[in-house]
Amino acid sequence: MDDRDTQQFVTDLTRIQRRLSAYILSLLGNARGVEDVLQETNVVLWAKRGEFTPGTNFVGWAFRVAHFQVLAYRKTQGRDRHKFDDGLVESLAQVAEESTGDLDRQRRLLDECVEQLTDRQRDLLRQRYEQGHDVGAIATQAERQVASMYKALHRLRARLIECVDGKLAAGVDA
Residues 151, 76 share a domain: no
Q: Which of 54, 71, 99 is the last residue of a domain?
A: 99
Q: Which range of residues forms the domain containing residue 147?
A: 116-174
Q: Of 91, 100, 98, nearest to 16 (Cα)?
A: 100
pLDDT bracket for residue 108 (50, 70, 90): confident
DSSP code, position 110: H
Residue 80 to residues 29, 148, 171, Cα–Cα distance (Å):
12, 49, 45
Asked if residue 145 lies in contact with residue 98, where contact means CB atoms within 8 angstroms, the answer is no
Query: In this structure, is residue 105 part of a structural domain?
Result: no
Domain count across the chain: 2
pLDDT at 140: 93
Residues 138, 71 share a domain: no
Question: Does residue 116 carry a pLDDT above 90?
Answer: yes
Question: Does residue 97 carry a pLDDT above 70?
Answer: no
Q: Which of 99, 130, 148 is the last residue of a domain?
A: 99
